[in-house]
Structure 1
Amino acid sequence: MENSPSVQSSIKYIVIGVIVVVLLTWLWPLRSVPTGSRGVVTVGGAIKGIESEGFMLVAPWQTLSIFNIRAEEAAVENADGSTSDTQPVRVSLTVRYSIKPDKVAEVFEKYSHDGNLQSYVQTATQEVFKAVTARYTAPDLIGKRSLVSSDILDALRKKLEVYGAQVINVDMRNFSFSQDYMAAISAKVTQEQLRLGAENKLKTVESEQKQKVAIAEAEASALKAQADGEAYQILKLATAQADALKVQNAALAQNKDVLELRRIEVEQTKAAKWNGQLPSAVYASAPIPFFNAPSSSSK
């Protein structure tokens, strides 16, 4: 019982200390706004100011709310749409957006106290996707994907501008159609591949035929050139021989004694080779070899 006053005194000091800490925490005027955020200062729920990143003084009767303006993501899974040729289509999208710094007060007052607009972005994205896909046929959605993505991005930027948000980009993940349509596309692709294969084979055959024709024409040209060369050589040789005969004939015509001299030389050669016997059969028109018959004067 002797220590009870001291114990009571200690408890009193502890209570006073806790009260002081609570009061200091509540009344402490220094606050901070993190990077990528804005501080919304309100009094009784009414907006009194928007503060940038850093330290700031907040009065006890004021409330500071941290509002995010960094990029956020909103995912839309299996958004439904229909093409202009009445083909149902689905796609998953991811939208990256952020709150415009000059729209913080408006967004805080109308839509969100922390800058999260995910539900608004998802709803707007689904509406825009349906509107854009209705302008394209199913084949165009596949073949013109970059253009479709650009149209969705432009339309979504205009729609989310109402909510004070700016769209950074939109990612689309695979268009999916009905099973029947995908089977039809697969069959069409197969037919196109077969057609291209047949065309390529035909082109190959035509190319080979052209090569064969070119080779045959080249060989024919070579043979013709060879024949022309041989014919030319024969013609030149015949011309030379004819010219030689003309020269010989002209020479003989000018000097008949030369011809007679050659005839005598031939007869002398025959006489030198004769063995003195007459042929056993002599035709009427055949020449008889000459011989020296005794003359009558010798008798």
Structure 2
Amino acid sequence: MPAIPNSNINVAKLVRNLIVSVVALVLIASFWPFRTVPTGSRGVLTQFGAIKKIEPEGLVVVPPWQKLALFSIRAEEAQIDEADGSTSDTQPVKVSLTVRYSIQTDRVSEVYEKYSHNGDLSSYVQTATQEVFKAVTARYSAPDLIAKRSQVSIDINQALKEKLNMYGAQVINIDMRNFSFSDTYMHAINEKVTQEQLRLAAENKVRTVEAEQRAKVVTAQADADALKAQADGEAYATVTAANAQAEALKAQSDALAKSKDVLELRRIEVEKIKAEKWNGELPQHIYAGAPIPFLQVDGNK
């Protein structure tokens, strides 16, 4: 037999070694026990289809006879476009909502087993939101649904929390948008708003006219009070001046009266002094109006 070249033998060994290496790598990769659970997830460890353990974030050792499934506990969104309902006064109403939710971490095993293998409950959330919206809007009349929109949102939020709790989920928040009624009802509302605005404008105009009239009355009253005060002041000034003049005249009269008495007394004193100094001789010349000394005549002589 012809000898096989050594080069062919080396190539065959190389190929065989390469195949063995690839198979070994595949087997190692398939049965590699070390796995990682990323942030925002939980690891559901199953054995022959049965849940054995829920692993937290981080490194996990998985035996070859078990499997690890990643389950998201991050916040998820469910879009509900044009959820429809009816008010207590039978007005149809529609709204679009965005519901943000997440899986309760202590109920991952229950949700995985019953509802979802990855944490996506959007279909359940959409159905529950539709039911809740119908139930809440039926408790409000159409005007109240508009006027109490914030309370309606609170009611929907509370009812949806209770509903989603059945599925192991928790509501983070709800956004309501495109809240609308039928075209006919919206036209009626706009007409009512227009009429109300016209009524308020008329009332404001009446109040303005009344305020202007009151201002005029107040101004006229103030002017009248000012004129009366001026007249009272002038009258008081006249009376005061008259009283002062009368007092002055009385004082002058009293002063004159007192002056006459003083002058008379002084005249008597002077006459007395003259009488005391008289030597008994009559004046030879008597002028008209000149006083004549008093003569005391003794009757016995």
The TM-score bracket by the shorter chain reads 0.7 to 0.9
Query: Could you tell me which residue of structure 2 aligns to residue 229 of structure 1?
Result: 233
AA aligned to 1:31 is R
Query: Could you tell me which residue of structure 2 aligns to residue 83 of structure 1?
Result: 87
CA distance in 1, matches of 2:49, 2:199: 71
2:135 paired with 1:131: yes
2:8 paired with 1:4: yes
1:150 maps to which of 154, 158, 164:
154
CA distance in 2, matches of 1:19, 1:44: 25
Q: Over residues 67-110 of structure 1, what are the superposed CA-to-partner deviations in whole Å (9 max), with x where a residue is unaligned?
A: 11111111101100111111110001111111111111111111
AA aligned to 1:34 is P
2:169 paired with 1:165: yes
Q: Over residues 192-228 of structure 1, what are the superposed CA-to-partner deviations in whole Å (9 max), with x where a residue is unaligned?
A: 1111112222222111111111111111111112222
Alignment of 1:199-278 (within 5 A): 199-236=203-240
Query: Could you tell me which residue of structure 2 aligns to residue 68 of structure 1?
Result: 72
Shift of residue 140 of structure 1? 1.1
Distance 1:53 1:236, change over 3 A: closer
CA distance in 2, matches of 1:224, 1:242: 27
Shift of residue 4 of structure 1? 2.6
Q: Report the TM-score when normalising by structure 1.
A: 0.78
Query: Could you tell me which residue of structure 1 aligns to residue 181 of structure 2?
Result: 177
AA aligned to 1:115 is G
AA aligned to 1:188 is K
AA aligned to 2:28 is L
- Does the residue aligned with 2:120 lie in a helix, a strand or coil? coil
Query: Could you tell me which residue of structure 1 aligns to residue 60 of structure 2?
Result: 56
CA distance in 2, matches of 1:232, 1:64: 110
Identity of aligned residues (%): 64
AA aligned to 2:112 is F
Query: Could you tell me which residue of structure 1 aligns to residue 112 of structure 2?
Result: 108
CA distance in 2, matches of 1:198, 1:237: 58
Shift of residue 136 of structure 1? 0.5
AA aligned to 2:202 is A
CA distance in 2, matches of 1:106, 1:28: 28
CA distance in 2, matches of 1:241, 1:62: 129
Query: Could you tell me which residue of structure 1 aligns to residue 36 of structure 2?
Result: 32
Q: Report the TM-score when normalising by structure 2.
A: 0.77
- Does the residue aligned with 1:163 lie in a helix, a strand or coil? coil
Shift of residue 7 of structure 1? 2.1
**Larger deviation: 3-12 or 209-218?**
3-12
Which stretches in structure 2 are left out of the alignment for 5+ residues? 257-301
Query: Could you tell me which residue of structure 2 aligns to residue 119 of structure 1?
Result: 123
AA aligned to 1:138 is A
- Does the residue aligned with 1:198 lie in a helix, a strand or coil? helix
AA aligned to 2:98 is T
Shift of residue 242 of structure 1? 7.7
AA aligned to 1:227 is A
Q: Over residues 223-249 of structure 1, what are the superposed CA-to-partner deviations in whole Å (9 max), with x where a residue is unaligned?
A: 11222233334445666778869x99x
Aligned CA RMSD, in angstroms, stands at: 2.1
1:187 maps to which of 173, 184, 191:
191
CA distance in 2, matches of 1:231, 1:54: 104
